[in-house]
Structure 1
Amino acid sequence: MAAKSSSSEPGTVRPGGRTARTRAAVRDAVLAGLVEHGYPGLTVEYVAEHSGVHKTTLYRRWGGVDGLVAEALGLAGEDAWTPPDTGTLRGDLRALAHGIVDTFTAPGTAAAPTALIAAAFQSERAAEALRAFHRERFARCGPLIARAVERGEAPAGTDAGAVVRAVSAPLFLRLFITREPVDAAVADEAAEATLAAVAAGAHVTTAG
């Protein structure tokens, strides 16, 4: 948003009612435009037409396309997602990995998150919003690792963000770099490799 740079950061609590409806309409229009045209083809005029929000309001509140994409990421970061709690670290890591695969391969729903990631390669403001989104996601995974430490499945000082990056990295490599197929077996492989690394203390970043 143009008025306050922090307003595009995920996790910020905002009022409901008309403001929430406006933001949701803008987000949906931004995602539709990214899927249809990609970041280079997204315009404020497109968002205005498809959201019902006048373009002068869009410029005033979000400043342009960069701000609109950052807003879409910010709103995504305000969801109610919580990390899995299966009772074991193995189960939690597998559930995380399967969630990533499902998000980026499910027909009809994968296009929008994929388009947001693509936009972050073309806009520094969108990239910062994406980093903020993931920082907040990593923080939500803190209890997952805390439970694993309590059960003796992970050494004290294991960093939740490092663990989530480890389980996600091979999946994103296949999805966005090598364009190899990903499925449940690949997700389980990523989880098992991360589980072994955690047990070996590879992701301990603070003193226990």
Structure 2
Amino acid sequence: MTRKQDGEAGGPRRKAEIFTATLDMLGSLGYDSLTVEGVAQRSGVNKTTIYRWWSSKSELLRDALLHSHILRFELADTGSLRGDLTELAVQLQDLLADEHRRTVVEAALVGAVRHQAMRELVISFLDDRFGRHRPLFERAVARGDLPPDADPTPLVDAMAGALWMRVLVRRGEVSDTYTRDLVDMLMDGVTRAAGRRPSPAR
């Protein structure tokens, strides 16, 4: 078996190793110092193999952000929008409580402020995660927890923004009380917004 065939046969495993090395380097060195050569050395995968799968650092980092397990969330289905939001907040809280995953998030956000390419990668990642959680809000509409024309984007931005501010900027702990109060405020906002909407014409 040739080296190329061996590399392709081990594709999924090797890609997981490459993604791990890529995000490790992003977290420890930042976007500027992240290189394909460095990823090759850290992952033990030949540089030519990496370039065969990804033509640039940006393409590699995009796939690492989208497909690595360390930034993955499970889709909650608790039977209510309040419960689903609470579960989502807890998962985000757990992610930020993990030092390694927190450094990756911090490096990605810092890079997004400084570099257009990194900003586009972060936006692509957030859009992907929002798309994966869209069924949560579709179920909420079906149950009547959200109006059919409601835009859930501000709801997600407010929750994630509050947790990021709490952990990444203030360096504060996120207690169960904080998470519960945050979800309560968001749900109060959803209820008020629904109450201000005009009734459908009969």
What interval of TM-score do these two structures reach, taking the shorter chain for normalisation?
0.7 to 0.9
Higher helix share goes to which structure? Answer: 2
Q: 5+ unaligned residues in a row in structure 1: which ranges?
A: 1-15
Partner of 2:187: 195
Number of aligned pairs? 190
Mapped pair 1:49 → 2:15: no
- Indicate if the aligned counterparts of 2:82 and 2:187 stay in contact, CA closer than 8 A: yes
Please tell me the root mean square deviation across aligned C-alpha atoms, in Å: 3.0
For residue 109 of structure 2, give the secondary structure of its aligned residue in structure 1: helix
- Quick check: 148-157 or 79-88, which moved more? 79-88
Residue 85 (structure 1) aligned to one of 77, 81, 94: 77
Assess, with a 3 A threshold, how the Cα gap between structure 1 residues 151 and 66 changes in structure 2: closer, same or farther: closer
- 1:13-55 deviation line (CA, Å, top 9, x unaligned): xxx9532223212111112212332223323222111112222
Q: 5+ unaligned residues in a row in structure 2: which ranges?
A: 1-7
- Indicate if the aligned counterparts of 1:73 and 1:116 stay in contact, CA closer than 8 A: no
CA distance in 1, matches of 2:100, 2:26: 14
CA distance in 2, matches of 1:98, 1:85: 14
- Quick check: 109-118 or 39-48, which moved more? 109-118
Partner of 1:169: 161
Q: What TM-score, normalized to structure 1?
A: 0.75
Q: What TM-score, normalized to structure 2?
A: 0.77
- Indicate if the aligned counterparts of 1:120 and 1:127 stay in contact, CA closer than 8 A: yes
Q: Which structure has the larger Rg?
A: 2
Partner of 1:124: 116
Among all aligned residue pairs of Structure 1 and Structure 2, give the percentage whose two residues are the same amino acid.
Answer: 32
- Indicate if the aligned counterparts of 1:74 and 1:129 stay in contact, CA closer than 8 A: no
